[in-house]
A and B are shown apart, each in its own frame.
Chain A
Amino acid sequence: MPKSLISIHDFTKEEMLHVLSIAQEFEKNKVQPILRDKVIATLFFEPSTRTRLSFETASNRLGARVIGFSDAGNTSVSKGETLKDTIKMVSNYVDLIVMRHPLEGAARYASEVASVPVINAGDGANQHPSQTMLDLYTINQTQGRLTDIKINMVGDLKYGRTVHSLLQAMSHFEPDFTFTAPDELMMPQEYKDFLNAKGIPYRETRELEGNINDCDILYMTRVQQERFTDPMEYEKVKNTYNLTASMLAGAKENMKILHPLPRVTEIAQDVDDTPHAYYFKQAENGVYVRMAIIAYLLGYK
Chain B
Amino acid sequence: MEKGSKELKVSAIKNGTVLDHIPADQLFKVITILGLKDCPNQITFGMNLDSKRLGKKAIIKVADRLFEEKEINKIALVAPDAKINVIKDFEVVEKKVLRVPEQIVGIVKCANPKCITNHQPITTKFETEFEDGVLKLHCHYCEKNTSSENIKIITEN
Contacts and interface: CB of A to CB of B under 8 A. Distances in A.
Contacts of A124: 114, 142
B55 interface: no
A108 B120 contact: no
B114 A7 contact: no
A103 interface: yes
Given A104-B112, A105-B115, A126 B120 contact: no
A126 B143 contact: yes
A19 B141 CA distance: 24
Contacts of B120: 82-84, 109
Given A82-B121, A109-B120, A104 B140 contact: no
Interface in B111-144: 112, 114-117, 119-122, 139-144
A299 B122 CA distance: 30
A104 B115 contact: yes
Interface in A58-95: 82-84
Given A82-B120, A82-B121, A84-B120, A108 B140 contact: yes
Contacts of B119: 103
A233 B139 CA distance: 27
Nearest to B121: A82
What size tier do the contact residues of chain A reach? 10 to 19
Contacts of A109: 116-117, 120, 122, 141
A162 interface: no
Interface string A1-20: 00000010000000000000
Nearest to A125: B114
B21 to A, nearest CB: 32
A125 B144 CA distance: 10
Contacts of B115: 103-105
A63 to B, nearest CB: 33
A169 to B, nearest CB: 15
A106 B142 CA distance: 8
A127 B140 CA distance: 13
A104 B121 contact: no
Contacts of B121: 82, 84
A109 B114 CA distance: 14
A129 B140 CA distance: 16
Nearest to A104: B142
Contacts of B145: 190
B132 to A, nearest CB: 10
Interface of A: 7, 82-84, 101-106, 108-109, 123-127, 190
7 contacts: A7-B143, A101-B116, A104-B112, A104-B114, A104-B115, A124-B114, A127-B143
Given A82-B121, A83-B116, A84-B120, 20 more contacts: A84-B121, A102-B114, A103-B114, A103-B119, A104-B112, A104-B114, A104-B115, A104-B141, A104-B142, A104-B144, A105-B117, A105-B139, A106-B116, A108-B116, A108-B140, A108-B141, A109-B116, A109-B117, A123-B116, A190-B145
Closest 10 CB pairs of A and B: A105-B141, A104-B142, A105-B142, A105-B116, A103-B116, A106-B116, A108-B141, A104-B114, A124-B114, A105-B115
